[in-house]
Structure formats: C-alpha cells, structure tokens
C-alpha cells in the first residue's frame, strides 16, 4: 500500500491556474501507478494557504478521475508498457545507487550528519533551476508562453483576518486557566523524563494531550532537552 501527493515543486506562482492541469496530470499518473491514497495540491499553494475554491478544485480533480475515467476499475492499466517498465527499472537502479552509497557512508544518520543528504538535495535542486533558467527544462508560464503581468497573479488569495489571531490567544489563555495545572505540569515532566531515557515518547505525548498541554509546550520541552537541529553548511 502507498500514498501519493502531487508534486508541490511543480507548482508555479506565474499563471497559477496552470497548476490545475499539472496537478491533474500528476494525480492521474498516480492512479495509473496503483496508488491507494492520494492528495492533490491546490493551485495557489505557491502564493498562500489555499482558498476554499482552490481546495474544492483539487478535490474535484480526484473525483473527475475516479468517476469519469473509470481508470480505477482496472487493476493495472499500464501493465506491459515497455516505456513504463523501462522508466521503473531506471528509477530502481538510480535509487539502488543511493542506497549503496548511503550504506558506505555508515547509514542515513551518519550521511546526514556529514552533509551528504543535504548536498545531494541541493545539487539536484540547483541542476533543475539552472535547466529552467537556460530553457533546457520548459515550464509553461515561467520560461515559455510568458505573458505580460504574470508577476501579479489574477486569482483570489486567502487573507486571514487578524481578529482570528486575537481570538486564538484568548482561547489559549482560557484553556490554560481552566485545565488542571498540576496534571499538565506532571505530563510535561513525564515527557522531559522520557527524553532522558529510551522510553517511548509517543505515549507521553498522548498523556500530555489528554492533560490539555499545548503543542507549543510539548515542543518547548523537546527543544530544551534535544536542542534545535541546525542543517550543516553545504558547499
């Protein structure tokens, strides 16, 4: 079983309506590949949190694929496709090379601490960006079929009312005032104690949540005990 999310990196701020098409193609590809669970990104996610309209279009994309194409009624629509099998083999070979290299470097933790993982991500991201800038990788609305005024997207963006923040602060203050302060502190102390041993933290998180500890309070304990991760500088 596997879950698929459409590629956020493929979304563009320019001509954002084009992202509907990109997401539809990616979603359809995921269904052809046999995904059992699917998340479709909204067209405006490069610009702001998605509006209700954008979210509904993303949902309707899945529903059109499911209800109008009947592709989900076929177990493996692309079975026997030479192109798909060739691409699958290529992907597996490239992934295997990374597995071998990471093992040589002592595993994922050691490779991350040495900066190898970040360096490879940066290298790939830079190669993609340079290909776009040189026109080797065509992106509609970015380096081909560009229109004047594309820098100012003509779509509605989600605007959060500042009043929402004030209301949330009031709710948080009321929660802290009404909860059992001793139980909440005891739950946070249990999280801290578990951080210093090999105890399962998840059980402590659940207890803390039941005691109405906030996510911020729990995260503060983790930061105090483990510190904050700082990605190594990669050259």
What residue spans define the domains of the chain? 1-79+115-159, 162-226
- How many residues comprise the chain? 235
**What's the distance, CA 14 to chain centroid?**
21
In 3D space, the residue among 25, 34, 33 whose CA is nearest the CA of residue 65 turns out to be 25
- Do 18 and 41 meet the contact criterion of CB atoms below 8 Å apart? no
Kind plus residue range of the DSSP H or E element containing 37: strand 37-39
Average pLDDT, the chain: 94
**N-terminal to C-terminal alpha carbon distance within the chain:** 38
- In angstroms, the CA 30 to CA 24 distance is 10
pLDDT tens digit string along 138-184?
999 999 999 887 667 678 899 989 999 999 999 999 999 999 999 99
pLDDT tens readout for residues 8-58: 999 999 999 999 999 999 999 999 999 999 999 999 999 999 999 999 999
């Amino acid at each position: 079983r596997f879950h698929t999310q459409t590629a956020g990196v493929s979304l563009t701020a320019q001509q954002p309506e084009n992202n509907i098409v990109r997401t539809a193609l990616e979603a359809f590809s995921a269904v052809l590949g046999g995904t059992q669970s699917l998340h479709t990104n909204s067209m405006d996610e490069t610009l702001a949190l998605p509006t209700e309209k954008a979210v509904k279009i993303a949902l309707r994309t899945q529903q059109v694929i499911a209800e109008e194409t009947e592709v989900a009624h076929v177990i493996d629509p692309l079975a026997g496709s030479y192109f798909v099998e060739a691409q699958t083999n290529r992907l597996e070979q490239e992934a295997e090379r990374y597995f071998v290299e990471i093992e040589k470097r002592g595993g994922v933790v050691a490779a991350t601490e040495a900066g190898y993982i970040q360096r490879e991500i940066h290298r790939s991201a830079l190669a993609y960006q340079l290909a776009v800038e040189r026109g080797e990788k065509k992106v509609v609305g970015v380096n081909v079929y560009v229109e004047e005024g594309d820098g100012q997207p003509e779509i509605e963006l989600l605007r959060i009312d500042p009043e929402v923040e004030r209301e949330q602060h009031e709710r948080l203050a009321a929660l802290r005032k009404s909860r059992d302060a001793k139980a909440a502190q005891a739950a946070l102390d249990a999280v801290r104690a578990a951080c210093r041993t090999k105890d399962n933290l998840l059980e402590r998180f659940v207890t803390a949540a039941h005691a109405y500890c906030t996510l911020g309070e729990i995260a503060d304990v983790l930061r105090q005990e483990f510190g904050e991760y700082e990605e190594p500088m990669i050259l």
